[in-house]
Amino acid sequence: MARGGEYILDIIVCIKAVPETNDLKINSQSNTVVREGTKSVINPFDVYAVEEGLRIREREGGTVSVVSMGILSSEAILRETIAMGADKAILLNDRCFGGSDTLATAYILSRAIKKINKFDLIICGRQSIDGDTSQVGPELAEKLNIPHITCVSKIEKISRDSIVCRRLTEDGYEIIDVSLPALITVTKGINEPRTPRIKDKLKAKNVPIRILNAEDIHADINYCGLKGSPTKVIKTFTPFYQNKCEIIYGTLEEKAKELVNKLLARDALSEFRDIFEEQDNSGYNIQRFGSPMFPIHIESKGPQIIGYDSNLKNEYRGIWIFGEQKNNTLSSITFELLGTGRRLADKLGVPLCAVIFGEDIEELAHVLAQNSADKVYMVDHPSLKHYIDELHTDVFVQLIRKHKPEIVLIGATTYGRSLAPRIASRLNTGLTADCTDLDIDLEKRLLLQTRPAFGGNLIATIICPEARPQISTVRPNAIKEKIASRIPTGRVIRENVTIPKYLRSKIVETVSNETEIVNLIQAEIIVSVGRGIGCPENIPVIENLAKILNGAIGATRAVVDLGWIDYSHQIGQTGKTVVPKIYIACGISGAIQHITGMSTSNIIIAINNDPNAPIFKVADYGVIANLMDFIPVLTSELANKIENYTKK
């Protein structure tokens, strides 16, 4: 325990054991992860959380206690944190904890933390690389009734009463001030974790690890494990990557021409046209792009949630989407949700409603009403000018309790992935993160939520059989449904809600990164750079290509770790997950951790001088060339073609 700073802070770090991705084995019969013999490691984001806790303690004094819920062998990862310098390690282990979803996990952790008693700050990793939900942190904060900040890339200031953090957003960052006690989730780049010395590793072997079971932490077993989990996985399957790569041969000019012609033939450059159809007087028009990735069948019954009156669920009707806006501009995910919500509402025969919060947003509410929403619930208030987790949760929950929707869809954006778990935790209902497909089982009146897990190695279909509403966050760009303006337009309803007078969170500053050409998550085209670029001075070649395509720039971890580009560009397991229309991988080998973040892109183009690079296994088109020779040729070919194409 170190002392010396102005304040003494007691910090709790929550960590999870995850299977090592390079070692992941899937049982092809049962479509489950083979745990036996698979090496477990500390979830990579949690290592940053431990390091940050230790750094605060070293500056300010205090204690760092590390908590993990898991099987007995998770002791090994707790010992690693002791070797790094943690003061205490606690393992939550009980047979009844098995099969917990994120809500049940948050409940168990909250019981344990209440038992530990005094804490000032809880630090979690941004997400786990197996479940990849980002939900446990905000759900835990809600269970403990403390404020939280997700995606923290820097702690600006910490005092006895408050913490000021930099939170990464899609287009920059925000500085947020919250009062302590609080919970933060940290992202890669916040620090460089230390490597424990051999001496400390040996010492850690003999340190006792405290093991607590359900009784020790006074946990109600009805809220633990499978029994206490409102969501249930009903089907898992492995994604099928067909080795479909078409290698393009010829001189550099011939390759560039051929590639551009192929993209034009597939209408892949159509984003240069208006994405919305002309107004259709006959009413609304929904057109799905493609069918669900895989057929979906219900294979087993969901669990009965003890203490939940399933008759109540019949009171919940209708589908809601969250109209996310920033600076009074609707985000593109909002239109995607309107398209998906409309399809699901029509299938169920219920109205589609949108909710929108902000200041002076009446115009935006009418845009939602003109684009598929039957009703728009609007809360227009100066306090809602900026997105604040606590406040938005409060307002959203008041509306849900009043109107009782059966399904709520929220974008899987930085805000959405912070807001949805807080709402789900307050309502004790199920939440499925980052869905890439949604459908309805009409017979059972259930939302079928499909999403990747284990870094995309498995796809799972999840239901929430009893608790209501069923809440999903939806991956941007993943479910493309065209919407058209509709006549008659929906109704805008001004809602009066109670706005809390005192808030524990405050937005100090919002910064948009103007050097970014386009927001990476929502970009239609991404040009991504790997170590094959050779040196940072060559990156403008990639930028020129991205510029001509109005695309965003992605990167591999190798390039980020070399300091050639900022972490906000990193794509993959410990970076962002993207689903653009076109992904151009330049000098990228195709490691599984990178593929995880981009493999569901519509069209993948790989440019690499090694014909055996694994990236060609997931690419649609491959060009074997030195990228520094080929990319300028491709850029000028595209410039010519796009000019002609958009003139038509």
Ligand X SMILES: Cc1cc2nc3c(=O)[nH]c(=O)nc-3n(C[C@H](O)[C@H](O)[C@H](O)COP(=O)(O)OP(=O)(O)OC[C@H]3O[C@@H](n4cnc5c(N)ncnc54)[C@H](O)[C@@H]3O)c2cc1C
Task: Report the interface residues with ligand X, using CB under 6 A.
Answer: 44, 530-532, 556-559, 570-575, 587-589, 591, 593-594, 597, 608-610, 613, 626-628
Q: Which is nearer to ligand X, 302 or 532 (CB)?
A: 532
Shortest Å distance, C-beta 126 to ligand X = 12
Rounded Cα distance, 59 and 61, in Å: 6
Q: Which residues pair with 26 in a beta bridge?
A: 33
Q: Which is nearer to ligand X, 22 or 640 (CB)?
A: 22
Nearest residue to ligand X by CB is 572
Residue burial 16-25, b: 16+ Cβ < 10 Å; e: rest: bbbbebeebe
Shortest Å distance, C-beta 138 to ligand X = 22
Q: Which is nearer to ligand X, 344 or 560 (CB)?
A: 560
Shortest Å distance, C-beta 575 to ligand X = 4
Q: 92: which DSSP letter?
A: E
Shortest Å distance, C-beta 132 to ligand X = 12
CA 285 and chain centroid, separation: 30
Q: Which is nearer to ligand X, 400 or 591 (CB)?
A: 591
**Torsion, Cα of 115, 67, 473, 599 (10° steps):** -170
Shortest Å distance, C-beta 531 to ligand X = 3
Q: Which residues pair with 628 in a beta bridge?
A: none
Q: Which is nearer to ligand X, 23 or 161 (CB)?
A: 23
Shortest Å distance, C-beta 61 to ligand X = 32
Q: Which residues pair with 237 in a beta bridge?
A: 459
Shortest Å distance, C-beta 586 to ligand X = 7
Shortest Å distance, C-beta 323 to ligand X = 31
Closest CA to 65 of 115, 108, 107: 115
Rounded Cα distance, 197 and 195, in Å: 6
Q: Which is nearer to ligand X, 123 or 613 (CB)?
A: 613
What sign for the dihedral angle of Cα 321, 326, 330, 332? negative
Say if residues 604 and 588 touch (Cβ distance below 8 Å).
no
Q: Which is nearer to ligand X, 522 or 570 (CB)?
A: 570
Residue 327, helix vs strand vs coil: coil
Amino acid at residue number 232: K
Please count the helices (runs of H) and the strands (runs of E) in the chain. Answer: 15, 35
What are the strands, taking DSSP E only, across 519-642?
525-529, 552-555, 582-586, 603-608, 621-624
Q: Which is nearer to ligand X, 513 or 609 (CB)?
A: 609
Say if residues 419 and 409 touch (Cβ distance below 8 Å).
no
